[in-house]
């Protein structure tokens, strides 16, 4: 087989392939002989069908199949041997006409896109802001009160007051206020703290068992995750409700009397004698809160790095080839118009992938199987500790790790997490990072504006 590369532009090329009988004939003949041994045709004993009939019936489909197999194998071998940095995969040139019946040598042309040469330089001249989230007093007080409630005493008052939990039977109403026969129904606890509409929150004060409220749920509850859980429906179903009006019938009321901010509570939360005063208690809450915020600060830094380098590192892509390739390889039917509409997003993603691959190569960043196993063990241990469960012994731990890493999507997820950790270290070490303190509410606002 002969393959030659003809560059049609800086970032596109043709691979011209010539397939001769020497490439396929021996294999085709063997398959046809095997067919003869096993084919049963009326009028002939098994294995005694004339070869001419076998050739007439099966030669062309066998030939096409074998040539296609050879093409796939040899194309990728050529790309690997010649170190051609392709984007996407080869796609056949439209209009290739192959006369399988009368020819014995076949010619094929394939288009390829070529990856641009890029060089990503990061130095202290490249400045980025790292937003260090600090827990303000309001946030600390809120967390402290939540902990006190968690360890508080439960009671069942006859009449609801502010902050109570009201367990309700919830049923969907139509526009006229009647129950919808096959509408949404559920029983759930309504926490007044989660009601965003002040007028609705007031309606939940002073209720007793069997009292009824009619409420527009999408106005009363702004958190879609909480609302979909309360109604026991998906977020997708929530976005297409036939009616937002619901009837809430009170079944019972619960009140949590928060635990006192004293040593008894501190011992329950952190262990005996580890925290002795309310000041120390809130100091621990502040420390833990700010530690949990690091993940969000890191995520924003990563997003800022992506945007910064996409603007800094400018290079072209074989856009026309890639658009054609996306249409050609799409599992679902997709039009050129759809590709045009979505191409900018795809292009940005691909450009970042190339930039990140350049960074991985420049800093020799790799993840080996041992790191993956150790990181998976750490994830399992953290999860077990979070739920108060004992960490498995070595044999059981290895079994769990093996079961997780056998799944391709889970294994890929863990590799990606480790690469994210390593690249983030590179960014922190090589960019000039300017640390800026920010409150959590201000951070959330900033993130929503980016």
Give yes or no for residue 95 having a pLDDT over 90. Answer: no
Give yes or no for residue 126 having a pLDDT over 90. Answer: yes
Which residues 6+ apart lie within 8 Å of 47 measured at CB? 36, 37, 38
Longest dimension (CA), the chain: 99
CB 228 within 8 A of CB 199: no
CA-derived radius of gyration, the chain = 33
Question: How far apart, in whole angstroms, are the C-alpha atoms of residue 8 and residue 30?
Answer: 39
CB 215 within 8 A of CB 245: yes
Alpha carbon of residue 85 to chain centroid:
27
pLDDT over 70, % of the chain: 100
Whole-angstrom CA distances from 401 to 150, 394, 407, 410, 412 are 33, 10, 10, 11, 14
Residue 101, φ and ψ in degrees, nearest 5? -75, -40
Best CA proximity match to 380, nearest among 372, 364, 392:
392
Q: What is the pLDDT of residue 47?
A: 78
Best CA proximity match to 168, nearest among 231, 239, 237:
231
Written as six digits, the tokens of 298 are 């890191």
Give yes or no for residue 443 having a pLDDT over 90. Answer: yes
Written as six digits, the tokens of 317 are 């892509």
Written as six digits, the tokens of 373 are 């196993």
- Count of other CB atoms within 10 angstroms of residue 356: 18
Q: Convert the pLDDT of each residue in 357-392 to its tens digit.
A: 999 999 999 999 999 999 999 999 988 887 778 898
Whole-angstrom CA distances from 216 to 133, 162, 179 are 36, 20, 14
pTM: 0.73
Q: Convert the pLDDT of each residue in 28-79 to its tens digit.
A: 999 999 988 888 788 787 878 889 988 999 999 999 999 999 999 999 999 9
Give me the helix-helix angle, 394-405 and 369-386, nearest 10°. Answer: 110
Q: Convert the pLDDT of each residue in 138-196 to its tens digit.
A: 889 989 999 998 899 999 999 999 889 999 999 999 989 999 999 999 999 999 888 99
Best CA proximity match to 187, nearest among 157, 161, 206, 166:
166
Best CA proximity match to 160, nearest among 211, 117, 222:
211
Q: What are the CB-based long-range contacts (under 8 Å, 24+) for 423-430?
A: 423/302, 423/356, 423/359, 423/360, 423/365, 424/298, 424/301, 424/302, 426/122, 426/359, 426/363, 426/365, 427/122, 427/128, 427/301, 427/302, 427/305, 428/130, 428/301, 430/122, 430/123, 430/124, 430/126
Q: Convert the pLDDT of each residue in 272-307 to its tens digit.
A: 999 999 999 999 999 999 999 999 999 999 999 999
Alpha carbon of residue 288 to chain centroid:
27
What domains lie within the chain, and their CATH numbers? 2-114 (3.30.70.1050), 153-257 (3.10.50.30), 277-449 (no CATH)
CB 79 within 8 A of CB 86: yes
Give yes or no for residue 332 having a pLDDT over 80. Answer: no
Chain position carrying tokens 């292009």: 347
Residue-averaged pLDDT of the chain: 92
């Amino acid at each position: 087989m002969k393959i030659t590369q003809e560059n049609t532009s800086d970032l596109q090329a043709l691979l011209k392939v010539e397939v001769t009988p020497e490439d396929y004939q021996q294999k085709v003949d063997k398959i046809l002989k095997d067919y003869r041994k096993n084919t049963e045709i009326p009028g002939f004993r098994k294995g005694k069908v004339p070869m001419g009939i076998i050739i007439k019936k099966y030669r062309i489909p066998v030939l096409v199949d074998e040539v296609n197999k050879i093409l796939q194998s040899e194309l990728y071998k050529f790309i690997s041997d010649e170190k051609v940095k392709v984007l996407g995969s080869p796609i056949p040139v439209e209009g290739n006409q192959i006369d399988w019946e009368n020819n014995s040598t076949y010619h094929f042309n394939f288009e390829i896109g070529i990856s641009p040469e890029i060089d990503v330089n990061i130095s202290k001249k490249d400045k980025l802001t790292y937003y260090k989230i600090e827990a303000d007093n309001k946030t600390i007080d809120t967390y402290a009160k939540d902990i006190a409630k968690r360890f508080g005493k439960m009671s069942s008052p006859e009449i609801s007051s502010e902050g109570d939990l009201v367990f309700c039977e919830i049923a969907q109403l139509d526009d006229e206020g009647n129950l919808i026969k096959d509408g949404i129904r559920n029983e759930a606890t309504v926490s007044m703290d989660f009601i965003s509409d002040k007028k609705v929150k007031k309606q939940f004060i002073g209720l007793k068992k069997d009292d009824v409220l009619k409420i527009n749920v999408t106005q009363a509850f702004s958190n879609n995750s909480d609302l979909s859980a309360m109604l026991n429906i998906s977020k997708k179903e929530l976005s297409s409700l036939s009616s937002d009006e619901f009837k809430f019938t009170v079944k019972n009321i619960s009140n949590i009397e928060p635990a006192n901010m004293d040593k008894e509570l501190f011992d329950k939360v952190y262990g005996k004698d580890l925290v002795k005063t309310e000041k120390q208690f809130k100091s621990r809450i502040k420390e833990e809160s700010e530690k949990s915020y690091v993940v969000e600060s890191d995520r924003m830094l990563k997003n800022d790095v992506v945007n910064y380098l996409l603007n800094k590192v400018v290079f072209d892509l074989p856009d026309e080839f890639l658009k054609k390739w996306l249409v050609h390889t799409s599992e679902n039917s997709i039009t050129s118009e759809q590709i045009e509409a979505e191409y900018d997003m795809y292009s940005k993603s691909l450009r970042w992938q190339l930039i990140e691959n350049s960074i991985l190569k420049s800093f020799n960043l790799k993840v080996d199987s041992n790191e993956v196993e150790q990181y998976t063990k750490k994830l399992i241990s953290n999860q077990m500790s979070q739920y108060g469960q004992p960490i498995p012994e070595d044999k059981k731990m290895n079994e769990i790790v093996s079961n997780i890493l056998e799944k391709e999507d889970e294994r890929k997820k863990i590799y990606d997490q480790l690469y994210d950790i390593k690249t983030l270290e590179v960014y922190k070490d090589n960019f000039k990072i300017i640390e800026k303190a920010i409150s959590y509410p201000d951070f959330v606002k900033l993130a929503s504006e980016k």
